[in-house]
Amino acid sequence: MIQNTLPKATYFTSKKRVSCWALFFLLSACSITAVRPAQEMSNMEVSIRAAKEVNADVLAPELYRIAVERGQQARKEYRFKNFMQAKALANEARSYAEKAEFESIRNGGKREALPQDPLSEPSYPPEPIVPSTAPDSASPTKSGPSSGNQTIPSGTPDDSSGILMQTPAPTPAKRK
């Protein structure tokens, strides 16, 4: 009688191992294909805001309304994790918002304020740089820990020289 070289327990363990690997790859494949359309959602929001800025809700109401409705649908699908539908709706809303913005500008809409170029020259003069004054060599400084004559600025200016008056630091009480 010829016996199987693998024990029965090892045979079942290898089957379980293969099925676990297959399940792992199946689940990971699902998570790889479901990418969140964060960039498309952001582009949609910016396009709708830009259309609103040029009064597209008044000058191109149909296109603007469709853009806003598709944007709301895209947000709803995104919340329900239907990322493919959310991406398609976001792209559609962005397209309608851009059309509404263009139509609004063609009908006389103007931007309220152009965005400032961050690389352009500032509109205000730069603040002057005030050189810091070096401390005078005559002013008292902190002494080492062995000396009890430490001085701390009190914060009140001397009337005659305009220099802060120095007061002696309190000495710590000695314990017996």
pLDDT score of 145: 53
Whole-angstrom distance, CA of residue 43 vs CA of residue 96: 12
Residue 87 belongs to some domain of the structure: yes
Residue 30 belongs to some domain of the structure: no
Whole-angstrom distance, CA of residue 87 vs CA of residue 74: 7
Whole-angstrom distance, CA of residue 174 vs CA of residue 21: 74
Q: What pLDDT, in 10s, does the model give residues 9-49?
A: 555 566 677 676 777 776 665 555 679 999 999 999 999 99
Name the β-bridge partners of 60: none
Of 104, 17, 13, residue with least CA distance to 56: 104
Give the structural domain span for 66: 38-106
Whole-angstrom distance, CA of residue 92 vs CA of residue 98: 10
Residue 26 belongs to some domain of the structure: no
User: Across the chain, how many H-helices and E-strands are there?
Assistant: 5, 2
**Phi and psi dihedrals of 51, rounded to 5?**
-65, -40
| Total structural domains within the chain | 1
pLDDT score of 127: 77
Q: What pLDDT, in 10s, does the model give residues 44-66?
A: 999 999 999 999 999 999 999 99
Residue 47 belongs to some domain of the structure: yes
Non-local CB neighbours of 157 within 8 Å, separated by 6+ positions: 163, 164, 165
pTM of the model: 0.50
Residue 119 belongs to some domain of the structure: no
pLDDT score of 84: 95
Residue 29 belongs to some domain of the structure: no
Q: Which helix (H) or strand (E) holds 156?
A: strand 151-157
Residue 86 belongs to some domain of the structure: yes
Radius of gyration of the chain (CA): 37
Of 71, 73, 62, residue with least CA distance to 94: 71
Residue 89 belongs to some domain of the structure: yes
